[in-house]
Structure 1
Amino acid sequence: MDQIKQIQVELKKEDDSILTPWQIQDFISTLASNYYKLDLINEISKQINNGVSEENIFIINESFNYNNKYVFLNRSNRLNLNDIEDFKHFFHFGNPISLIPNEDMNTMSLKFSIFRDLNNYLYSKGESRIDKAKFQVVAIQKNSSFEDIIKLVKFKKETSKDIKERMNTDIKDIENKYVKLVKERNSHEIQINTFKTCIENNKLDDNEEYIDIKEKYFNEFEKCFTRLERPIVGIYNVDKRVVEILSSSFIMKDSRDERFLDIKEISHNSPTYVNLFVGIAFATPLLILFANIITEKIKGNDEIEDIKYSAVEESIRFVHEEHEDEALMSKVEACEKLDDEIEVLLNELVKKEELKGYEKIEKTYSKNLMYSMSNNIESKTVENIKEYGFQNKELSAKIIDFKDIKKKRNTVKIEKINNKEMKK
């Protein structure tokens, strides 16, 4: 089987109701966000399996701006923080939060925050803001302090002594806020490191004493990932001060590759019809969608024997597991009710492209985290499609080689479910 690049998905509403432009926009936006997140989870899992430390994997606390072209990513998805321009690009993304607490990254994030607070305050008082080029030198130094950043503040010559004193008091209050945060984290350092050791050694059976620590310092990555519509995820090489942005092609406005979600057609006629090109990461929610449709069709047929229905349920569960093709075909043939072509092709894709790479992660904590995030996004994707009435027998797809999309050659088609009548 040749390299699979894209999936063409055709969605048609189950009734004659027409979606408003706002509903279409919301549907596509949610679909694009969830698909992007599934791709990110795959990338994160691959990086962990390739030996990248979870402490060096981060998420930015803000979504990327879809109106920004981020043209600098065309050159490379790697940003050298020793370079002032690359540093500025990274700084403007937001604050980094590591998957597992990383002291260097946490310190950098706090430096970013105090720098923003200081500049906002200075601007509100009509003073010159701190130069980012000067801040960059302090920000990437491991042993630099908040005081070093404050020393970069330069008041205007005409600012009176009294005003300077009042402003210095306010600036000191800003510094104290961040000093307090550092002291609080330092007071928990032993517990943080102990819990990290438990994670490393897969000894998390009894971790009730670390519930508060986990909530405060270990759950922020997942919270951001869930909350943000367009998260930015990357890898930070602490020693080289180099950042690699994952799935960067999604962030670049003018990017078009095999991973991009592209709208081929939207018909506002009755019933509403949507034709999309999506990357391989969409195979997993498609499996769930097809399985749901088959299950609902079986449940609606009173003539199906209970024993056969149980076999179908077992086979539907089976599509989310990794097995050899022979065993897979055996299950499909025994069941009689599944669309074997859909199941086989999508499962081949899931296996070949390692779309469930988190299953190979050795650390239980990280494996469970990636599974939880993936399961959450897959469920939301299916619910979004179902909510707008697209989860029905008209759902179909084609698996396409990206190079041949325009020529429409070398395609492998997955027939519509309703084309195969169920045997009584």
Structure 2
Amino acid sequence: MAEPIYLGAIADTIRIEGTRILATLIRTVGDVQLAEDAVQEATLAALGAWPVTGVPPEPRAWLTVTARRKAIDILRRERARGDKERAGTELLELTRPAPAEVPAVSVESVESDETVHDDLLRLIFTCCHPTLSPPTRVALALRTLCGLSAGAIAAVMLTSEAATAKRLTRARQKIAAANIPYRVPPAAELADRLPAVCAVVHGLYTSGHAPADGEPAYNLDLCTEAIRLAELLHGLLPDQPMPTAVLALLLLTEARRPARLDADGEVVTLDRQDRALWDAAAITRGISLLNDSLERSDRQADPYQLQAAIAAEHARAPAYSITDWREIVRLYDLLLSVAPTPAAELAHAVATAEAEGPQAGLTLLERQQGPRTHAVRAELLARLHRYREAVDELSRSEPATAAERRHQQGRIEEFSRRSSSHDRC
């Protein structure tokens, strides 16, 4: 049985590099299921080999090379002929020398003549095929290439887990039935797939910044990977305003991450955050990218530009109390006119409450539903000293992470105390 140190090394490699390994293999073999099976078998091989030989200096390279060999083995076991056998034969040159002898092989050494050179970004473009509906393209890429669960994708796309699972099943069936190739489109066709690719990158960051479940308040690996992809996408298409805006939005949002939790890992709300902890360099670059994106779109803002502009308003404010809430309300009005979502409606109500008072925010919340809506409504009720109602609303809320649940419990206890004191007065 593998010792814990090796299990940890394997787990860390798969967690951090797994999707890139899978993307590399999908590009090589052109078959998602085959690539997934081969990566699983390579993981099992590592569990058997690493406790004996030690963790290789470059675990990702070891797993990638081993997965390629496993793909050949799978093809041979299936006794496939024709295209599959030729594909397997072509893989032979990529798998020498044997994995035990090549721990230092860099998987980045594989050359490509294609426009997109990062395997994961390449496969995201591939999954965003125009014959699939835009939501399906995003869901497929987030599941296959970014490794998100159906539940996490549903949270990002604001739909149900069951509906997401059905969408993924239909997508794979359509790809198989229509024989849609897993290849990157020519450079001239990249722009047509850009909106879906941007949605995937933004969705990946959203899943890390606000996880649908689990212990941590955010997933740093997912956030870091999303920003890496956004940087690559911006570098690939620097004159396109949309990827520039996505990168700006991610940088402006990520700049506030160091202040989101205190030293004990507890949630710190925006009004209480130490703004000295915010990443000033990321804010400066994010605002610069936003301005560049707006100039390239003749000041006609898309949803990413509007979200980035809202984030920039928060970043510019030296303190929460002097935030330009009326400007933020105006920006949310524009966002809701071009891309209405429950999340944007909720944030619009919060901004309205700050600009016009808690009752104005509550009025907007009357027609809104959702687990986070209860938490916002509770805070606004508390400002009006309606503490019992606030406790009731919070009790109906459904925090996604353990940190949020602890924060919710703390607020319930505080509002309960205030309710008791208020009743005695």
TM-score tier by shorter-chain length is under 0.3
The TM-score with structure 1 as length reference comes to 0.27
* More strand per residue: 1
Structure 1 or 2: more helix by fraction? 2
State TM-score, norm by structure 2: 0.27
Greater relative contact order, per chain length (Cα 8 Å cut-off, separation 6+): 1
